Structure 1
Amino acid sequence: MKDWWIYKGDRSTDRLARLATHQPPWRSFDGEIDEGYAVPSLDDDRYRADRERGAGYIADENETELVNSALYLRRPLLVTGVPGVGKSTLAYSIAEDLGLGPVLRWPVTSRTTLRDGLYRYDAIRRLEDANLRRLEEPEAGAEGGPERPVTDAIGKYLQLGPLGTAFIPTKRPRVLLIDEIDKGDLDLPGDLLTVLDEGRFDIPELARLAEHSPTVTVGTDDEDGRARITRGRVACRAFPIVVLTSNGEREFPPAFLRRCIRLTIADPSREKLLSIIEQRIGREAAEAADGEDGVISAFLKRRATGSLATDQLLNAIQLRLAGAWTAPADLDRLTGATMHTLSGPDAT
């Protein structure tokens, strides 16, 4: 482990504190910390699966150095690789290693817009509730009738999305996973530029009411989370650790690429596969899968003709542990059942 590394440290606050003392002047953010916002802990049993997923990731030196580069520079990390190589799991590894709470995940589709990630405003429900109150209560302003609040409790109709929640001003950064950004609309990367550059965004529905109610409490992407928004602006204090994943299915604009630290995750070597198996399943399973006639050799041979995901190898080993296709003569049947190539001339 190198002295300047933060990621792959020992989960101590001293290592994360290095971010505060090594901050680029052009990436400084001054959002007023929301002292009342409680970030969920990964130690909570609700996030056990996330914690175990992150702990099982094996990062090599190149991956670790580029993750740390993104941390120091407060820049998004654009992670490219074939499906199943561990791009998304890297985000969970960062959150687990640094103790930064559950990952805020934003899955992207062809219909995704920037606002989907920032916040959601349920105007229809607000209108329905207002109409219902008019039927149940005396008319506002009538003699003896109650005065209706200007904000009409708008906060309960607003919820920050994963991206918006990542910008809540907290002392420690959150990990935001923007998954499969290459599946999004052509304009999405460009739309993200301003938000990721400035570390803030405005909610017009709240900004219009700032004179009457400068601070409004809204929901967040965290379970039961409630954040205080002042004058309709969400501005971060600690820039979030943004991991964008791509399967390499399209090119991104140069303006977007120059703002990212770029990492390509290669197919894991035999040695790394052994480490992954040992970490996920155990040493005995790794030793049993090794060798010229082992499952790992069969996996590597098949991967040479087309793309395979590492979890396909783990599936094959798990089946053998359950007693399926354990005889040497059954290896081809096991391979055929669990290792269908995902791309290439032999894809099935």
Structure 2
Amino acid sequence: MKQKFTGSEQYIATPDLMTAVNAAITLERPLLIKGEPGTGKTMLAEQLAKALGNKQLIVWPVKSTTKAQHGLYEYDAVSRLRDSQLGNERVHHISNYIVKGKLWQAFEASEAPVLLIDEIDKADIEFPNDLLRELDQMEFFVHETQEQIKAHQRPIIVITSNNEKELPDAFLRRCFFHYIRFPDQDTLQRIVNAHFPTLRDSLLRNALESFLAIRELPGIKKKPSTSELLDWLRLLQADGTPDSAIHNGGVPPFAGALLKNEQDMSLLERILNATRARRN
């Protein structure tokens, strides 16, 4: 029986996320993960590789200029031209100028690795469609060397998206989908405890209350994420911030770890000033 993913000491997985991961592995389908930035999509792949016996993790970070071909291989014609001008013997073997992409690396691994295709929605809309055959058949053809590259073992594929653009239906049909919802307060507390086991309860309680209140501000442009909460707590702990400083009626200390633009910072200040005025 295949090993089941149940989260890890560093990654608190909800039951529905564990179900999604294990379903994708059973179906041998790519796992498409969406959710707010900072909810642990990328970290999921890292912890999945560790939890399944320290599997090799291969990361393909996608950018706006990334093409599907980059994940297969690239032919370095410039280097070959330079070597031909210098009379280098390497020039007679075109395979010397084939640069293996992340998919090729995953296909040739002796044991099934975890392949993370990170932030797929940053690329051109055709990028996912250009990978359909490779993700289905687990093979591709190298025209320069006339080689057919086939996967030794089907990799476990995790694909993340921040929902910046819609993905093609043909691509979605080939994936098992899961949306990571923002964790509730109990799950947040478990996540924090995993990262800060010695954090005093009173600080955690006050910090969580303040953090959740900021997320619920009416009109907030960018809600702080789980990763930003952890950064904030790290600062509070390192500074030895007293509990009273978090609820002193003003902007909480190190608020720049939570709010990332001037509009949201101004909004928080206006609401706090209005609250103080009503109390007075």
TM-score (norm 2): 0.84
Is 2:41 the counterpart of 1:87?
yes
1:243 to 2:158 alignment: yes
In 2, the alpha carbon distance for the partners of 1:245 and 1:5 equals: 22
Pick from 333, 336, 341 the counterpart of residue 255 of structure 2: 336
CA–CA separation in structure 1 for the residues paired with 2:67 and 2:188? 37
SS at match of 1:234: strand
Q: Give the distance between the partners of 2:79 and 2:98, measured in 1 at CA.
A: 11
2:272 corresponds to which residue? none
Instruction: Verify the 8 A CA contact 2:113 2:156 in the aligned structure 1.
Output: yes
Distance 1:201-1:80 versus aligned 2 partners, 3 A rule? same
- Structure 2: how far apart are the matches of 1:105 and 1:206? 26
One-letter amino acid matched to 1:129: D
Which of 188, 191, 194 in structure 2 is aligned with 1:273? 188
Corresponding letter in the other structure for 2:183: P
**In the aligned structure 2, how far is the partner of 1:246 from the partner of 1:94?**
17
Specify the SS of the correspondent of 2:165: coil
Amino acid paired to 1:125? S
CA displacement 1:139-177 (0-9 Å, x = unmatched): xxxxxxxxx78x82333322211122111153x311111
Counterpart residue number, 1:308: 224
1:290 correspondence with 2:204:
yes
Matched, 1:190 2:129: yes
CA apart distance, 1:127: 1.8
The number of aligned residues is 258
Partner SS state of residue 252, structure 1: coil
Q: Secondary structure at the match of 1:79?
A: strand
Q: Tell me, which stretches of 5 or more residues in structure 1 are unaligned?
A: 10-53, 135-147, 208-231
Specify the alignment match of 2:169 in structure 1: 254
Structure 1 pair 202–177 and aligned structure 2 pair: CA distance change class (3 A):
same
CA contact 2:41–2:160 (8 Å) conserved in 1: yes
Answer whether contact 1:303 1:341 (CA < 8 A) is retained.
no
Matched, 1:201 2:146: no
* 1:128 Cα offset (Å): 1.1
C-alpha separation in 1, matches of 2:200 and 2:13: 18
Distance 1:75 1:338 in 2: 37
CA-atom RMSD, angstroms?
Answer: 2.4
Instruction: Report the secondary structure of 2:48's partner residue.
Output: helix
Corresponding letter in the other structure for 1:160: K
Q: Assess, with a 3 A threshold, how the Cα gap between structure 1 residues 67 and 59 changes in structure 2: closer, same or farther.
A: same
- Distance in 2 (CA, whole Å) between partners of 1:185 and 1:312 is 29
* Partner residue in 2 for 1:319: 235
Deviation at 1:180, TM superposition (A): 0.9
Amino acid at match of 1:262: F
The whole-number CA distance in structure 2 between the counterparts of 1:186 and 1:201 is 21
Tell me the secondary structure at the aligned position of residue 191 of structure 2. helix
Distance 1:233 1:4 in 2: 29
Counterparts of 1:288 and 1:162, CA distance in 2? 46
SS across alignment from 2:108: coil
Q: Is the 8 A contact 2:202 2:243 kept in 1?
A: no
Query: Within 5 Å, which residues of 2 pair with 1:1-348?
Result: 6-8=4-6, 56-133=10-87, 152-168=92-108, 170=110, 172-207=111-146, 232-282=147-197, 284-285=198-199, 287-291=201-205, 294-305=206-217, 306=220, 307-323=223-239, 325-331=241-247, 332-334=251-253, 336-340=255-259, 346=264
Q: Given that residues 79 and 245 in structure 1 are in contact (C-alpha distance below 8 angstroms), is that contact kept between their aligned partners in structure 2?
A: yes
Cα offsets for 1:279-302 (capped at 9, x unmatched): 1121x31624333xx101111111
Q: Is the 8 A contact 2:76 2:98 kept in 1?
A: yes
Between the aligned partners of 2:240 and 2:199, the Cα distance in structure 1 is 14
Q: Contact 1:76–1:259 at 8 Å: present in 2 too?
A: yes
Query: Partner letter of residue 153 of structure 2?
Result: A
Residue segments in structure 2 that go unaligned for 5+ positions in a row: 267-280
Q: Provide, for residues 199-221 of structure 1, a one-character-per-residue CA deviation record: whole Å limited to 9, x for no partner.
A: 001111111xxxxxxxxxxxxxx
Residues 53-93 of structure 1: CA deviation (Å, up to 9, x unaligned): x7511111100111011101110111000110111111011
